[in-house]
Amino acid sequence: MSYNVNEIKPSSELWYTRPAANWDEALPVGNGRMGAMIFGGPSNELLQLNEDSVWSGNFRNRNNPKAYDNLEKMRRLINEEKTAEAEQLCSDAFYGTNENQRHYQPLGDLHIWQSAPEYSDFTRGLSLDKAISWVSFKSEGVTFTREIFASCPDECIIVRFTADKKGSISFTAAIDGRDDNYDKNEAYDNKTILFTVSDGIPYSCAITVTAKGGECGTDANRLVCKNADEAMLIIAAQTSWRTGDHEKLCISQAKKAARLTSEKLIERHIADYTKLYDRCALELNNENGVNSALPTDERLKAVKEENVSDNELVAMYFNFSRYLMISGSREGTLPLNLQGIWNKDMWPAWGGKYTVNINTEMNYWGAEIQNLSECHTPLFDHIERMRENGRVTARTMYNCGGTVCHHNTDIWGDTAPQDKWLPGTLWPMGMAWLCTHIWEHYLFTGDKTFLAEKFDTLCESAEFFADYLTEDEKGRLVTNPSVSPENTYYAKNGRTGTLCKGPSMDSQILFTLFTAVINASEILDENHAFAQKLRSMRDRLPKPEIGKYGQIMEWAEDYDEVEPGHRHISQLYALYPADIINPSKTPELAQAARATLERRLSHGGGHTGWSRAWIINMWARLLDGEKVGENVQALLSHSTSINMFDMHPPFQIDGNFGGGAGIAEALIQSRYDGVSDAAYITLLPALPPEWKSGSMRGIKARGGFEAGFEWSNGRITGAVIKSMNGSRLSLRADGEITVTCEGKQTEAILVNNAYEFETEAGKTYFISVK
């Protein structure tokens, strides 16, 4: 396979003219379960390896048995605004009995030494179209190429070595890492080395070498290849979390893959990957003579230092988010954690866990709209792992039914409070927010079988709050105790506080969750009594309120924030990802949401990558394309490493997914509640002025639709919409719409500036706009 920089696709290939200087410049590959970061050194290559179930240990019960006995006292202290006393009680009775859940860990480091004392014509890159990373250079008159890919069908990471002169390939490879903490690092046979670790979750890694021509084999704990025409390293890994005999299984997988040719392995890999990746594509035409043929790091430098609007780089960011989703989250794997699956540290930032007060959820914001529903399933599987633990936490800590999780979970689905950190720890909404993803999946797919399977999970999450909510002095039902994630307020007495009752985000999440249960009950004709109970409770939840700055209030009282530019903007959950606030239904609240964003940003908000990504989505929901463009530019300028990873800093993958979702949200928005007659789609609702012309295909919309469209000079020129479920559609675009299906015009009625028409499942509708 040739890697000619003159043929680089500027929106789908990352490339560079020097090796990675550090981890944040290395390039990721993954098959959902295994991942590698590739540095690209000609003479000293490093593949930093991961496997998604390599974590620090087994499950442990961390629920604090003192919590329930102190619950009413805690509520009384919060009601009386005795913040210092409440926080002391929290520390004594509500923190987990062990501060930390289990944390994610690296698998090891694979080193490859290849003689290249001097080299030229160096390039390295990553093809998003094929999910193959490459390194190419010339040394002593020979052009060497390494191709690295992570195969899902063959469950291995493969390094393929080729050269333009026969007999030129020689290298030595060895694995280490884990702070030198391993059990075996030795030859298994004459072609395979075995690396095993029993610390934490035990695992094994087998690496096999093959060659055409020359010779290859093992030398103690190293793999050696001499004078080959072509060679491969095949890396397989398994853990005790998935299988009883991880050593045997990973050896079997490595040897099975080694029996295939490199061409067959690549063919199988590309076929598997492209059936997901090729569903959707975004093209944004560059304007003003932007040089998109430059290496990726130089393009990012131009954005940062010269404020260049590189539209094809924006399209690459969108495509990269889809690449990361496919590479990091496949059916049967664990969900994406804070670092996805790519992590070099034994103690990664925040443990590399699942932070469920926004970060894990943001990881999956793009899954449905970007036509990758299958990649969403690891999150649903993990919710099921959490359910039983969440029942124990609900009973032990709160004497409530149902299931609950606080602001973090781990590989085992631990639901007890994480950390000893007042602004974040005692937040009981993690399971509830995660469960809204079940409902979103249904709204996009219309899969009633899935909804029926997950209905009890939705109900069980809501059941906890049916027991937990308390009545405030205004007769409203509120959470107590809780926090507004990671933020701190000034109480009326001038003291700072974190613990509170009824923070705005909690009520908004509960409105969304209760609505999901109520509507699912109607769709499935099940559990009507519980749905009616939730309907009555939903009516008593606090509604979004406007505060003294014209902003959406973050707490039940109109407190000032200690940090007005805080990275979390939790009170705008109602705007995005929920659909409680929008400019057409709630214009006054939408204006207050705008004021909230402006206030946050004027005080330095959006300084983390994921926060900036959330802001992009919120400006899109407010239909402000100019602000979308400004914040996409800021995301690229301030929060993107040269390998396109999102930087918190440090690296956190959520911003990549949130940014990709925000780009989609600027181009198409949809609304559907699952029970109404029609779904609503708007094309180009928040198009940045810089994105004058482009095209999108394979994007998904709620109500079971798949759309493709083109635009020029900011206006839709044509669209194609496929109806999966036969829902009635209300379509809005800038202009007069004509709809045809199978060569015949479909009646479309203009209602409230949108064209409504009936659809049939499986049929495609062609939209012309004038």
Q: Does residue 336 carry a pLDDT above 70? A: yes
**% the chain with pLDDT above 70:** 99
**H-helix or E-strand spanning residue 700:** strand 694-701
- Segment 661-675 shows an average pLDDT of 97
| pLDDT tens by residue, 204-242 | 999 999 999 999 999 999 999 999 999 999 999 999 999
Q: Does residue 3 carry a pLDDT above 80? A: no
Band of pLDDT at residue 287, cut at 50, 70 and 90: confident
Q: Does residue 4 carry a pLDDT above 80? A: no
Q: What is the DSSP string of 113-178?
A: E---SS-EEEEEEEETTTTEEEEEEEETTEEEEEEEEEETTTTEEEEEEEESSTT-EEEEEEEE-G
**Mean pLDDT, the chain, integer:** 96
Q: Tell which residue, 478, 448, 330, has the closest CA to residue 724.
A: 448
84: its two tokens: 């210092």
| pLDDT tens by residue, 116-150 | 989 999 999 999 999 999 999 999 999 999 999 99
279 pairs with which residues across the strands?
Answer: none
Q: Does residue 679 carry a pLDDT above 90? A: yes
Band of pLDDT at residue 2, cut at 50, 70 and 90: low
Q: Tell which residue, 595, 493, 609, has the closest CA to residue 544.
A: 595
CA angle 698, 702, 703 (to 5 degrees): 105
The answer, yes or no, to whether the previous bond of 577 is cis (omega within 30 of 0) is: yes
CB atoms within 10 A of CB 601: 19
Q: Tell which residue, 178, 155, 206, has the closest CA to residue 56.
A: 178
Q: Does residue 664 carry a pLDDT above 70? A: yes
51: its two tokens: 């496997």
| pLDDT tens by residue, 243-260 | 999 999 999 999 999 999
